[in-house]
Structure formats: C-alpha cells, structure tokens
Amino acid sequence: MKNVRVARRYAKALMAVAEERNMLDRTAADLDRIGALVRGSRELRLFLARPIVSEEKKRNVLRNLFGPSVGPLTMEFLLQLVVKNREPVLLEIIEQFEELRDEKLGIVSVDVTSAVEFSPPQEKELTQKLELHTRKKVRVRFALDKAVRGGFLVRIGDTVLDASLRHQLEVLRERFTESGPLTN
C-alpha cells in the first residue's frame, strides 16, 4: 500500500509506451501471467524483495523465468525495474496497471465480502444490480469473511455499501451505549 505513488508512476509509463507501440493487450496479458506467478510463489516474492541478491543475478533469473513467454517490451520493463531497484514493487505496479486499464475501458472493479458464499444466480443478480447502480461495466471479486457474520458489503472505489450484520450490530451497540459527542 505504501508504494502506491511509485507503482502508479511506473504503471502509467508502461501504459504509455505500450499504447505507443500498439502492444497494450499483449502487455496486459503478460503482466497478468507474471502477477499470477509472483502471487503464487513465496520464494519468488522473497527473492525479488531481497536487496542482498545482486542485480546481475536478478536479471538472469527474470530472463530465464519470463524470457521465452513474454513480449520484448515487458521484458525490457522488468529489467529496467531491477536497474532502478524497484523490483520489490512489482506486484503493486501490476495492480496499478490493471486499474489504469480498467479506467480506460470503463470497467469498475468491485469487492464483495460476505459471510456465506453466493450461489451463481445470486452472483449474477448482484452483478446486474451493481452495473445498474454504477452505470458501468463491473468486474466483481467475491471474498469470504466470517467476521462479517451475515449479509454482505460491497466496496466500489472508496465507497462502501454496507449491508452486513456486523455493521448493524455496531450501530446497535452505539445506540445503547452512551455515545460521545463525536458520534452524536
């Protein structure tokens, strides 16, 4: 989270270059794949974050891992990250890149957290409702969290639509206990 500003700048730059060379889709697909791999491998994450490993070694590993599968632009970008010592931020850059691309395509990503899993028809209904609400295309990510207790909460950007039991219980507790002047 801390490196949002850095990540956003790198993502913007990559985006601009990719558009210029007409390689946006290819680059996006590459980054998706890299992201999945980095997320999946704790070893790789630790390796990238370790400042003790020399630049040379990092570059070799990245070349060996991704060289055959990704486009030249993506490879160039990865190597440049190592030169600038920003490889620990790779995951965040990928996230920011996805966000930027979504913005461009008019897609809103929405997080839904619930205590019980949604059934497929429920998921579909919710997605349709959200698309109506935001008037944009919606990509919904569902997550489970027992702490919600019941109901669900939807997060669109900075705004939360809270229909969870947890929140209602909190409100109830505030009503019963003496609320300070701040909550009046």
CA separation (Å) from 44 to 25, 40, 69, 108, 169?
A: 25, 9, 17, 30, 42
Helix (H, G, I), strand (E, B) or coil at 178: coil
Q: Which of residues 146-165 bind other proteins (CB under 8 A)?
A: 155, 157-163
Q: How far apart are CA 139 and CA 33, in angstroms?
A: 18
Confirm or reject binding of residue 180 to other proteins (CB under 8 A).
yes
Paired strand residues for 143:
113
Q: Which stretch binds other proteins (CB under 8 A): 2-10, 52-60, 101-109, 141-149?
A: 2-10
Name the residue type at position 35. G
Q: How far apart are CA 143 and CA 112, in angstroms?
A: 6
When the beta carbons of 87 and 92 are compared against other proteins, the nearer one is 92
Q: Which of residues 3-22 bind other proteins (CB under 8 A)?
A: 4-5, 8
Token couple for 26? 């290819």
When the beta carbons of 63 and 129 are compared against other proteins, the nearer one is 129
- Give the chain's end-to-end CA distance (angstroms, integer): 32
When the beta carbons of 139 and 166 are compared against other proteins, the nearer one is 166
User: How big is the site for other proteins, counted in residues (CB under 8 A)?
Assistant: 24
When the beta carbons of 83 and 169 are compared against other proteins, the nearer one is 169
Q: Please report, as ranges, the residues that interact with other proteins according to CB under 8 A.
A: 1-2, 4-5, 8, 155, 157-163, 167-168, 171-172, 175-176, 178, 180-182, 184
